[in-house]
Each structure stands twice: as structure tokens, then as C-alpha cells.
Amino acid sequence: MKQQRNILSYFILKASIIKQLIFFVYLSFFSYGQNDSLPYTLYKDNIVLYSDIGYSSAPFTINYDFTSDIDKIKYKNNFRTIIGLGICYKWLAIRLGIPLPGYFKPVSRFGKTIPINLGIDFTIKKIFCDLDFRYYQGYAIKDALRWNNSLNDLKPNEILSQQKSISVSANAWFFNNKDFKISVVGGKTGNYDKEVKTWYLKNTVNGFGVGNDKTTLIPQELTDSLNSKTSSSFYSAFDIGIVPGYAYVNKINNWQFSILAGLGGVLQSKFYEVNGNVRTAIGLAPRYDIRIVGGYTVPKYFVFLVTDFDNKSIRYNELVMRQSFYNIKIVGGIRFVDEKKKNHKNNKM
């Protein structure tokens, strides 16, 4: 009987030790989760000075069976390299962009382009919102000597100084994982410390188009008398839709890289002009966009390559206008970081 009581006491003691051990492990795990719950480091309480250099462009094409050997016209805009200077601190971010002298392509072959790009973005919980306005005036039709006898090999492109392109868009991105922050992906407000991946939904509203005030959009030599759309001075559309996608970010040995890729569709109201009268139609259109950001980052500084591609299209039966808006730039910045304050801040979060 005494032996049984000793065995029972032994097991009670063991159970008590195991219980305390489990409690200790749980407490340790809980404390660790609290201190290391965020996969990124923020620098919003530090001044960040940065500079960027790059360019943006908005070429488009018109596809149609114009002749037996011409089924596509390519419109190219010229552009200047833009250098930007900016500062971030807490909720405030200011950037000034200045175009460098000269154009990227020869003016004699591609003319001059006037670009205007304005944008604003902000985040509300899991939703990232951005508003964009893009305007370009001045295009060249590439290799127009195929139908224009006044051109030659030295000047093969037809320059259209009044050719315009415009795009206004409003987007709301919902990320399923709240730890995915586009502001941190770009490097200026922080950097990631480990892998984060998530699916997202992008709700998008757009108004865009191309046109020419002086003549038909398609050269007179290629217009089709049996298709009035080829004689229009503009093609434009208003659309609304959803683009689901996948986002991924990771950092390995101070090299951070990320990609956002989405594919979806929009309901589109499209317009064109015939003899001064505006015609409308309703249809569906595909939509995809890609953002790639990558570079080197440490607490004191960062250098990133930032790119984004946005594709839009309008289909009028056999005639299709496709346009790509893209930005490519290198961004480098200095963070005025106090390591002690940074670590204290992250522990509090």
C-alpha cells in the first residue's frame, strides 16, 4: 500500500513538473510571437532621403488587316530620363521629379513627347489604394515608309506631334495577408525580414484612350472604306472590373525581391468617332498587370530596381487597340536610423 502511495506521489510530482514545463514553453512561445510577430522592419519614425532615375512610357498598337502584308501599326512615344528627389518621414512623403536634357530616342526619328504623370496612394488596413493620371502628347508611327512614299530609310517613321494618349485610373488592392505592405515592398518606409506571400483582389476603374485632333488615328493610306472604325480620330473606353492575383516578397542575405502578378477582366464601354458622331459599344476585355521590385537593403541604405507594367486594350470586332503603360527606375535612399530606437520600436510592436 505504501509503495502504491509512493508511486502515486511520483506520478503527481511528474505531472506537476510537466504542467509547469508546458506552461513555461507556452509562455516563451507567446512572448516570442509577440516580439517577432511582424515580418518587416519599419522606418516611419526615421527620416529617409532618396533619389531615383528612370523613365515611363505608353506605346500602343492597332491591329487590323490593313493590307496583305500589314496587320499592325506601332505607335511609339519619345521620352526623357527623369531624376527624382524625395523625403519620407512618418505619414509625409514628398518627391520632386526633374527631366534631364535631351530625349532617349533621336528627335529626328521619333519627335518630341510631352509627358504628365501624377499619382497618389494610401493604405487602409488590408486595402492599398492608388490614383493615377497619365498623359502623353507626341508619337511616331514606326516604319511608316511601308505605305508613306515621302519617307525613307533615314527617316522611316511618321511623326505625329498632335497624337495624344490619356489614362485615368483608380484601384483598390485587397491583400488576404495583412503583413503584405506595398509601402514596405518599395523599400522607402521599411524592409522585409522574411518571406510573405498572399493572394489579392484588385478592383479597378479606368478611363483611357488615344486620339488625334488634326487627322484620323490610322493613316489615310490604310483606312478601309468598308469599315468606318478605321477612319475614327480616336478610340477610348471606360471600364470597371476585378483582377485577382498573387503577391510574393522575400529577403535573402540583404537582397529583397518581390513580384505582384494579376490576370482578370473588365466590363467595358467603348467609343469611337465617325463623321463627327460618337458611336458606343459594350463588351468585355482582359486585363493584366505586373510589378517587380528588387534590390539590396540594410538599415542604413537601400538600392532597388522598381518596375510596373499595366496593359489595356479595346476591341472593335476585328480591329484591336492595345496599349502598355510601364515605368522603370532605380531608387536609392539613405535611412537615418538609430539602431537602439529601431529595436525598441519593433519590440513594442
C-alpha cell at 12: 503527481
Supply the mean pLDDT for the chain.
86
Question: Which CATH number goes with the domain that contains 113?
Answer: 2.40.128
Alpha-carbon torsion, ordered 146, 147, 151, 156, to 10 deg: -40
Task: Give the model's confidence band at 214: pLDDT under 50 very low, under 70 low, under 90 confident, else very high.
Answer: confident
Residues 112 and 19 in one domain: no
Structural domain harbouring 289: 41-348
| C-alpha–C-alpha distance, residues 94 and 71, integer Å | 45
Strands 82-89 and 234-252: unpaired
- Say which residue the cell 522575400 belongs to: 250
Q: Which residues of 308-347 are buried (b: 16+ CB within 10 A; e: fewer)?
A: bebebbbbbeebbbebebbbebebbbebebeeeebeebbe
Whether pLDDT at 203 is above 80: yes
Which one has a higher pLDDT value, 274 or 14?
Answer: 274
User: Can you give the pLDDT at residue 7?
Assistant: 39
Residues 138 and 249 in one domain: yes
* Helices assigned H by DSSP within 172-257: 182-185
Residues 282 and 256 in one domain: yes
Residues 48 and 168 in one domain: yes
Residue 161, CB-side half-sphere exposure with 13 Å CA sphere: 4
Whether pLDDT at 14 is above 80: no
Q: List pLDDT tens digits, range 124-145.
A: 878 999 999 999 999 999 999 9
Mean pLDDT over 197-201 rounds to 96
How far, in whole angstroms, is CA 284 from its chain's centroid?
22
Residues 216 and 262 in one domain: yes
Q: List pLDDT tens digits, range 241-254.
A: 999 999 999 999 99
Whether pLDDT at 316 is above 60: yes
What is the DSSP annotation of 122-147? EEETTEEEEEEEEEEEEEEETTGGGT
| C-alpha–C-alpha distance, residues 113 and 162, integer Å | 10
Residues 27 and 100 in one domain: no
C-alpha cell at 239: 471600364
Residues 221 and 206 in one domain: yes
Whether pLDDT at 286 is above 50: yes
Which has the closest alpha carbon to 209: 162, 158, 168, 172? 168
Whether pLDDT at 30 is above 70: no
Which one has a higher pLDDT value, 255 or 35?
Answer: 255
Residues 12 and 112 in one domain: no
Mean pLDDT over 165-180 rounds to 95
| C-alpha–C-alpha distance, residues 290 and 134, integer Å | 18
- Say which residue the cell 514606326 belongs to: 142
User: Can you give the pLDDT at residue 89?
Assistant: 87
Task: Give the model's confidence band at 342: pLDDT under 50 very low, under 70 low, under 90 confident, else very high.
Answer: low
User: Can you give the pLDDT at residue 285?
Assistant: 94
H-run or E-run covering 4: helix 2-35
Amino acid occupying residue 6: N
User: Can you give the pLDDT at residue 44?
Assistant: 79
Q: Please count the other Cβ atoms lying within 10 Å of the Cβ belonging to residue 132.
A: 17
Whether pLDDT at 86 is above 80: yes
- Say which residue the cell 510573405 belongs to: 196
Looking at 17-21, 114-118, 285-289, which range is the least confident one? 17-21
Whole-structure pTM value: 0.81
C-alpha cell at 54: 528612370
Residues 3 and 93 in one domain: no
Whether pLDDT at 148 is above 50: yes
Task: Give the model's confidence band at 341: pLDDT under 50 very low, under 70 low, under 90 confident, else very high.
Answer: low
Which one has a higher pLDDT value, 46 or 235?
Answer: 235
Residues 6 and 147 in one domain: no
Q: What percent of the chain has pLDDT above 90? A: 67
Rounded CA Rg of the chain: 28
The count of domains in the chain is: 2
Residues 115 and 22 in one domain: no
User: Can you give the pLDDT at residue 72?
Assistant: 96
User: Can you give the pLDDT at residue 124?
Assistant: 81
Q: 342 near 43, Cβ under 8 Å?
A: yes
At 222, phi and psi to the nearest 5? -110, 0
Looking at 9-13, 53-57, 160-164, which range is the least confident one? 9-13
Residues 4 and 47 in one domain: no
Whether pLDDT at 36 is above 80: no
